[in-house]
């Protein structure tokens, strides 16, 4: 049918490759790293196969469920009642439901009522365009007050976005909250999911399906240049050689795109260059004892630059307690260059605030995963400024996790967008065939 090259073997790239194989195309996937999976890739953590960056599934993640059914692994989905905590000024208490809100010490009644009303209205809201040109800070202060914002929201924004904290889209923030709330069993009970065996189960199934269909996955094969001629894609140059293509789908972070496409018009290059990101240094700790009974804990008034921690073993059953401590920050921040051990020590001191009984004897193993482009900065008005997936070069589509804004990063949205872009290759091919077969009028 057509030659399709996919750039990037994360969930979006693999989903695109899988769909292109199903549609009958010849597919090559070019991945710069040594393993497929992207942010969903696993590593061996002392005998535990674990994601480099934590993932969970919500009840509304239908694209994930549809793909798992296609792959024959729908029976690997597991659901677990989970909970949330808030550590405010050194005190860890339950959080995330109306009862916990009313009982939480250190927050005045008016702030609690305003926060609860804000959460209720967000749950009922079904449209986001009116939030598109507002900042999350302005929107939250309107509903929760300055005191509520300072206590409950400011640390989350400042320790994830730093200098960008005051200029994050309200639409993006609402959609992030909505996804989590869609997975509530009731007002008092959250329920999240995981795939048995972790994200590797889904990644491995995709890789096997692609290879069974004749697709090829080329690891350690970074793309150097996307080649076009007369406004139409012709292929890609990688460190391993040239791959001819009728269609190219790029799924790598936007900052990597402009250097690869010399033929892209200047205004498109500017739109790619305007997209800013923050990096992540994610500290993963294996412990003898749990830190808390909660899956996630938000931090406020804690002397560590962490917006929160994820106790992953409170979702996916593991042999030991496993905690993710994600340090989000621009890569220009000096902490991004901290050695792994310094980050580990800082994260462990934070865990000791949450559970003073922890000692160094409880620390069994550690790992630090780093990524330069982990989270897109989505300011107000992002929808109108972000580039479309279909570029002016015929046969070239470009997307990353920012392309499904206002949705935040998720495997489900990556899968949905990846499969959609692959189907557009088929639509384009049909249009070409129709144009080719259309009779040409002969002038008499």
Pairing outcome for strands 363-376 and 247-250: unpaired
Specify whether 282 is located in the same domain as 346.
yes
Question: Is 85 within the bounds of a domain?
Answer: no
Whether residue 382 is contained in a domain is answered as: no
**How many Cα atoms occupy the beta-carbon half-sphere of 178 within 13 Å?**
18
Query: pLDDT tens digits for 17-62?
Result: 999 999 999 999 999 999 999 999 999 999 999 999 999 999 999 9
Distance between CA atoms of residues 162 and 140, nearest Å? 18
Question: Are the C-beta atoms of residues 328 and 160 closer than 8 Å to each other?
Answer: yes
Q: Where are the alpha helices (DSSP H) in 125-260?
A: 136-152, 154-161, 170-181, 199-212
Please tell me whether residue 167 adopts helix, strand or coil conformation: helix
- The CATH number assigned to the domain holding 208 equals 3.50.50.60
Q: Buried (b) or exposed (e) across 304-313, using 16+ Cβ within 10 A?
A: ebbbbbbbbb
The CA–CA distances, whole Å, from 255 to 148, 258, 305, 373 equal 35, 7, 25, 8
Domain match, 205 and 133 both: no
Judgement on whether residues 207 and 262 belong to the same structural domain of the protein: yes
Regarding whether 288 and 363 lie in a shared domain, the answer is yes
Query: Is residue 444 included in any domain, yes or no?
Result: no
Q: Are residues 403 and 355 in the same domain?
A: no
pLDDT of residue 361: 97
Residues 114 and 165 placed together within one structural domain of the fold: yes
Domain final position from 357, 376, 395: 376
- Is the same domain home to 282 and 351? yes
What is the helix (H) or strand (E) element at residue 355, kind and residue range? none
What CATH number has the domain bearing residue 349? 3.90.660.20
Domain end position, chosen among 134, 159, 183: 183
CA–CA gap between residue 42 and residue 35 (Å, rounded): 9
Block residue for tokens 């008034």: 301
Q: How much is the pLDDT for 434?
A: 45
245 and 291 fall within a common domain: no
Where are any strands of DSSP class E within 239-362? 241-244, 247-250, 277-287, 296-300, 308-311, 321-329
For 153-168, write each residue's pLDDT tens digit.
999 999 999 999 999 9
Q: What pTM value is reported for the model? A: 0.93
Domain membership of residue 76 (yes or no) is no
Q: Is 73 a member of any domain?
A: no
Domain that holds residue 344: 276-376
Domain boundary among 183, 213, 245: 183
Q: How far apart are CA 323 and CA 329, in angstroms?
A: 19
Are 247 and 394 members of one domain? Answer: yes
Number of structural domains (the chain) is: 3
Q: Find tokens 């549809």 and name the residue.
A: 66
The answer as to whether 48 is a domain residue is yes
Average pLDDT, the chain: 93
Buried b (16+ CB within 10 A) or exposed e, 381-419: ebbeebbebebebebbbbbbbbbbbbbbbbbbbbbbbbb
Q: Are strands 308-311 and 296-300 parallel, antiparallel or unpaired?
A: antiparallel
Q: Are strands 216-218 and 26-30 parallel, antiparallel or unpaired?
A: parallel
Are residues 281 and 372 located together in one domain of the fold? yes
Are 37 and 102 part of one and the same domain? no
Question: Which tens digit of pLDDT belongs to each residue from 272-331?
Answer: 999 999 999 999 999 999 999 999 999 998 888 999 999 999 999 999 999 999 999 999
- Confidence tier at 65 by pLDDT (50, 70, 90): very high
Closest CA to 301 of 196, 125, 152: 152
Residue closest to 251 by CA, chosen among 37, 5, 11, 13: 13
The answer to whether position 270 is within a domain reads: yes
62 in any annotated domain: no
User: Do 214 and 150 fall within a single domain?
Assistant: no
């Amino acid at each position: 049918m057509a030659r399709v090259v996919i750039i990037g073997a994360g969930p979006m790239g693999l989903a695109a490759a899988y769909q292109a194989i199903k549609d009958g195309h010849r597919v090559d996937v070019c991945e710069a790293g040594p393993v497929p999976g992207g942010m969903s890739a696993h590593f061996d953590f002392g005998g535990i196969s674990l994601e480099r960056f934590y993932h969970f599934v919500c009840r509304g993640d239908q694209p994930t469920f549809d793909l798992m059914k296609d792959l024959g692994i729908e029976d690997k989905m597991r659901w677990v009642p989970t909970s949330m905590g808030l550590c405010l000024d050194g005190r860890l208490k339950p959080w995330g439901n109306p009862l916990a809100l009313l009982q939480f010490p250190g927050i005045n009644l008016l702030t609690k009522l305003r926060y609860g009303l804000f959460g209720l209205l967000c749950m009922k809201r079904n449209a986001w365009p009116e939030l598109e040109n507002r900042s999350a800070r302005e929107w939250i202060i309107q509903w929760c007050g300055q005191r509520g914002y300072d206590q409950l929201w400011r640390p989350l924004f400042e320790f994830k976005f730093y200098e960008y904290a005051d200029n994050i889209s309200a639409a993006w923030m609402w959609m992030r909250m909505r996804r989590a709330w869609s997975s509530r069993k009731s007002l008092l009970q959250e329920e999240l999911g995981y795939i048995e065996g972790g994200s590797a189960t889904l990644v491995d199934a995709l890789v096997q399906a692609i290879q069974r269909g004749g697709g090829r996955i080329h690891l350690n094969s970074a793309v150097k240049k996307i080649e076009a001629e007369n406004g139409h894609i012709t292929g890609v140059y990688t460190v391993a050689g040239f791959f001819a293509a009728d269609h190219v789908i790029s799924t790598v972070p936007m900052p990597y795109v402009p250097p690869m496409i010399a033929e892209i018009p200047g205004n498109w290059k500017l739109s790619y260059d305007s997209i800013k990101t923050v990096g992540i240094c994610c500290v993963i700790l294996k412990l003898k004892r749990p830190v808390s009974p909660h899956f996630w804990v938000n931090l406020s008034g804690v002397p560590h630059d962490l917006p929160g921690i994820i106790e992953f073993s409170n979702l996916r059953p593991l042999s030991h307690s496993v905690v993710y401590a994600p340090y989000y920050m621009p890569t220009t921040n000096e902490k991004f260059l901290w050695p792994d051990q310094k980050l580990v020590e800082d994260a462990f001191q934070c865990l000791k605030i949450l559970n003073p009984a922890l000692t160094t004897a409880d620390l069994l193993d550690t790992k630090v995963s780093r990524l330069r482009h982990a989270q897109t900065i989505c300011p107000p008005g992002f929808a109108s400024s972000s580039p479309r997936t279909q570029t002016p070069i015929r046969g070239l589509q470009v997307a990353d996790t920012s392309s499904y804004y206002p949705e935040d990063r998720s495997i489900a949205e990556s899968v949905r967008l990846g499969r959609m872009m692959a189907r557009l290759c088929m639509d384009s091919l049909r249009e070409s065939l129709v144009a080719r077969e259309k009779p040409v009028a002969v002038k008499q």
